Structure 1
């Protein structure tokens, strides 16, 4: 397995960010075509299968190469939950799932894309997996808002915060059992991230909750009036 190191804001990282911006803009300016497309449900489900297959491929590849480990490979990061919710949303169209994808998915994926905690760079599979799944989460959220007409609500903010606080003790327990650091609930990542300005452990966890709530509210204020044109 080729193991090139990932470098934050390297050429490949900047290209990935530019691609992310491009596809979001493209989705917005082609939203009328998508909304009138026939059999759009099949496209949604194909994208769900592609996201699931990409995630499954990551776990299979790491297992076959002896790199899969309970300490860091379990799909219980925030964006792992958001990815699962995105797949469910694409497959079912459930509006309750949309709330979590929109608020937790966008906030978590945007942070991940801008400040990745990533070991391998381009052209390693992990590089493509990381950016494709995170961009896919955000595409799913904006697709259901711009094209399907789903609207983020303040009630959705509260629901998402409740879900996150239900997940926290579960993830903390897993971290304790496997000596992991899922969702960065055991210690801060070695790379630069938002957590660097949120105080020492364990206080940054409470600060992170406040930041999450503020980010969710900002997303709600920015996008609550969007409607399908």
Structure 2
């Protein structure tokens, strides 16, 4: 979220805005909470943090006046780089950030397969998200602005 708040506008910031939007949606669709009893601070921070991330990313994408579209090669390159970095972090810390070590829906612990699946899904989601944001920007929002 800090990257979205402080980075200069450009393709990398736009990419991370799409990544933050879809990453937070995935976190709500398949939440992985800490193993504490329900009324715990980590539950609250999980929900509020991912909600704030989704809202900030969506606000940035809808208010971005440049309207430049990310190139497919750019999206693939950024996603592969990000997922490779996450693989190293997961190996170092023993985590499963980005579902790269263990994917929940496919139930696979095959890291190369998980890497490929997650990369393809996120590339598709980001490219689809661009189309959705472009469509929303073209609509007449005068009713909402009144």
Q: Structure 2-normalised TM-score?
A: 0.73
**CA 1:179–1:143 in 2, change beyond 3 Å: closer, same or farther?**
closer
Q: 1:196 aligns with which of 84, 87, 105?
A: 105
Q: 2:14 aligns with which of 99, 105, 121?
A: 99
| Equivalent position of 2:23 in the other structure | 108
Contact 1:112/1:134 (8 A) holds in 2: yes
Kindly name which structure, 1 or 2, has the bigger radius of gyration based on alpha carbons: 1
Are positions 1:184 and 2:99 aligned together? yes
Pairwise CA distance, 1:167: 2.6
- Superposed CA deviations along residues 37-90 of structure 1, whole A, max 9, x for unmatched, are xxxxxxxxxxxxxxxxxxxxxxxxxxxxxxxxxxxxxxxxxxxxxx2322xxx2
Q: 1:175 aligns with which of 85, 90, 94?
A: 90
**CA 1:177–1:217 in 2, change beyond 3 Å: closer, same or farther?**
closer
- Name stretches of at least 5 consecutive residues in structure 2 with no aligned partner: none
Whole-Å separation in 2 of the counterparts to 1:209 and 1:151: 24
- Name stretches of at least 5 consecutive residues in structure 1 with no aligned partner: 1-82, 189-194
Pairwise CA distance, 1:152: 5.9
Q: 1:142 aligns with which of 58, 74, 86?
A: 58
Pairwise CA distance, 1:104: 0.9
Contact 2:90/2:97 (8 A) holds in 1: yes
What SS does structure 2 have at the residue aligned with 1:210? Answer: helix
Pairwise CA distance, 1:158: 4.0
Contact 2:83/2:119 (8 A) holds in 1: no
What SS does structure 1 have at the residue aligned with 2:57? Answer: helix
Q: Aligned pairs, how many?
A: 137
Whole-Å separation in 1 of the counterparts to 2:18 and 2:117: 17
- Superposed CA deviations along residues 117-159 of structure 1, whole A, max 9, x for unmatched, are 112465321112111221111111221233453536132x543
Are positions 1:217 and 2:138 aligned together? no
**CA 1:113–1:161 in 2, change beyond 3 Å: closer, same or farther?**
same
